Structure 1
Amino acid sequence: MTAAVNNRERAAHLGPERRRPHVLDAALAIAAGSGTTAVTIGSVAERLGVTRPVVYACFPDRVALLRALVQRERDAMVARLLDALHTARGDDPQSAFVTGFRHLLHMVEEHPDTWRLIFAANPDPSVSGVVTEARQAVAASATRWIGPALQRWWQTPDLDRKLPVLIELFMSAGEAASRSLLAKENDWTADDLGEFYGQVICSAFRAA
């Protein structure tokens, strides 16, 4: 009771701009633990120990709150994925794929709540478009890297026709690897799982 009162008193001294990051952090924790359907104005207020009007001052409704949350985490996720792509360089294709997948999975370990939100099996309909946009942005960057690499490494025949299919395979593998790492029954390390996925995807791309 005392903590809740103190939180409400502190909240009164924060303007909406300064409070929004705290509201989004609370919403992320709720979404990661219970799914986006559990994110409501009331649940966020309860987690922060404030009243609902405090949260409403930041976001007019739960849809606006969810969209802001997914957009924030999407931007962070895209930046991390692009960072993972940039590490996958060099003349040894298997080493490049392994390095990229390892880097990706270490970022998943460091920011599991973001990945659970973005890769939710059933995303909230109100934010599914934002998630799709994130995937498209990463796919476009992957295409710019993978296309020239396949040409350099293996002179892949009929590359223009095959590349969209290979990019879809690459994206799906990254999502599957992330879900596998976060699964409760997982007993892989990020390095071992990254090596496994890197070798498998490299072999598939070589075969193409």
Structure 2
Amino acid sequence: MNEAAIANRGRAEHLGPDRRRPQVLDTALEIAAQQGLADVTMGNIANRLGVTRPVVYACYPGRGEVLAALLDRETDEVLASLLELLPPQRTGSIEQLFVDGFRALHSTVRERPASWRIMFGADPDPVLTAAIVRGRDRLRNQLATVMRPLLQRWQVADLDIALPMLVEVFLAICEAAVRKMLDADGDSELVAETFGKAAYRAMRAKP
């Protein structure tokens, strides 16, 4: 390592944990996107940041905590996108709104694929199991809050009973759609139309 690199590394190590943590998470997401979750290790994060491992460990106790913190942060991005799939409360039952929503979701998934793989990956990292459960609970709670007034407008019967079931169905459709969107060979228009119409019909299935 040359003198300039050593100097840069020394300066980097003096940022402090509070300022360093967002960089650690950004780097972890970058590694996950390029190489997969299995390569998100404390050593790889340190190497990519150009710091020593103790600097990374000062931010998080271990790999599991890095992945959990990353999942918590990326859940916010996922949640915002899923909430946008639901039509505004002022509208009626317009199927095209769901199709348009899934078309927009496709663009979001392609822009931040690692975020979606962390949450909806077919083979999640075992270290993330508890964090994924928490993240999905957040998704369910927020979706239920937004869906309730919409279903009330649609005069869905037995709403308190139907709402949790419809949330699960909607989330399952979204999860299947995201996995298809992560497939580079998928036809974006066909995916948006198929899953958008399926979500609409599922939401209107309960009279």
Q: TM-score normalized by structure 1?
A: 0.81
Q: Percent identity?
A: 46
Count of residues paired in the alignment: 205
Number of the residue aligned with 1:105: 106
8 Å CA contact 1:11, 1:54 repeated in 2: no
1:73-126 CA-to-partner distances (Å, cap 9, x unmatched) read 123322333344465751133133223323333322332221122212232333
CA 179–89 in structure 1, closer or farther in 2 if over 3 Å, else same: farther
Q: Distance in 1 between matches of 2:9 and 2:166?
A: 52
CA 72–52 in structure 1, closer or farther in 2 if over 3 Å, else same: same
8 Å CA contact 1:88, 1:96 repeated in 2: no
Number of the residue aligned with 2:166: 166
CA 14–174 in structure 1, closer or farther in 2 if over 3 Å, else same: same
Number of the residue aligned with 2:72: 71
Q: Distance in 2 between matches of 1:7 and 1:102?
A: 44
Q: Distance in 1 between matches of 2:27 and 2:55?
A: 13
CA 6–111 in structure 1, closer or farther in 2 if over 3 Å, else same: farther
Name the aligned partner's letter for residue 193 of structure 1: V
Q: CA RMSD in A?
A: 2.7
CA 150–17 in structure 1, closer or farther in 2 if over 3 Å, else same: closer
Number of the residue aligned with 1:186: 186
Please give the residue correspondences for 1:50-65 in structure 2 after superposition, counting only pairs within 5 Å: 50-65=51-66
8 Å CA contact 1:84, 1:100 repeated in 2: yes
More deviation, 56-65/136-145: 136-145
Number of the residue aligned with 2:129: 128
Shift of 1:41: 1.0
Name the aligned partner's letter for residue 172 of structure 1: A
CA 5–183 in structure 1, closer or farther in 2 if over 3 Å, else same: farther
More deviation, 140-149/68-77: 140-149
8 Å CA contact 2:27, 2:49 repeated in 1: yes
Say which SS state the counterpart of residue 122 (structure 1) adopts. coil
Gaps of 5+ in 1: none
Q: Distance in 2 between matches of 1:167 and 1:14?
A: 43
Gaps of 5+ in 2: none
Q: TM-score normalized by structure 2?
A: 0.81
Q: Distance in 2 between matches of 1:193 and 1:19?
A: 39
